[in-house]
């Protein structure tokens, strides 16, 4: 099995920045992609970004392109989401996930971390 633990969420003012982390452990060798998602109250879960473990190829949703950056540290089995120019509409629970394919079929999910952006 795989365990994912998100951290770095919190309260930030509009225009500010946060850096989320997701540490992976367990059976990850056969899974080549990790992604970030978010879900706001009353809305469906939204894809944000994905990254391939080995070569660092990335994919972004249009809504966050240019503001959010996904990266990884293979030695630490950790993926990051740097979020800049945050807006109140970015308020949501943010999840990381791991899977296969591209941009990914995800089969393990973290518990989420709350991001709240105030106006």
Which one, of 11, 7, 32, lies nearest residue 90 by Cα?
11
> In this structure, are residues 110 and 95 in contact, taking their beta carbons and an 8 Å threshold?
yes
pLDDT digits (tens, 9 = 90+) for 46-58: 999 999 988 889 9
- Compute the mean pLDDT over every residue in the chain, rounded to the nearest whole number: 94
Q: Which CA distances in Å does 30 have to 1, 11, 34, 44?
A: 11, 35, 12, 28
Write down the pLDDT at residue 56: 86
Write down the pLDDT at residue 31: 84
Would you place residue 96 in the very low, low, confident or very high pLDDT band (cuts 50, 70, 90)?
Answer: very high
Report whether pLDDT(29) > 80.
Answer: no
> In this structure, are residues 11 and 66 in contact, taking their beta carbons and an 8 Å threshold?
no
The C-alpha atoms of residue 82 and residue 44 are separated, in whole angstroms, by: 22
Q: For the chain, what percent of residues have pLDDT higher than 90?
A: 83
- Least confident interval from 11-25, 78-92, 99-113: 99-113
pLDDT digits (tens, 9 = 90+) for 53-77: 888 899 999 999 999 999 999 899 9
Measured at the alpha carbon of residue 102, what is the angle toward residues 80 and 70, in degrees to the nearest 5? Answer: 15
Measured at the alpha carbon of residue 69, what is the angle toward residues 66 and 73, in degrees to the nearest 5? Answer: 160
């Amino acid at each position: 099995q795989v365990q994912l633990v998100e951290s770095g969420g919190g309260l930030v003012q509009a225009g500010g920045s946060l850096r989320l982390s997701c540490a992976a452990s367990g059976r990850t060798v056969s899974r080549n992609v990790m992604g970030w998602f978010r879900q706001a109250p009353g809305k469906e879960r939204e894809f944000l970004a994905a990254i391939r473990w080995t070569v660092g190829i990335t994919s972004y949703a249009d809504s966050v392109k240019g503001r959010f950056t996904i990266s990884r540290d293979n030695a630490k089995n950790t993926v990051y989401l740097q979020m800049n120019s945050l807006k109140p509409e970015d308020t949501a629970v943010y999840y990381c996930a791991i899977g296969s394919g591209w941009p990914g079929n995800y089969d393990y999910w973290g518990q989420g971390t709350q991001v709240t952006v105030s106006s």
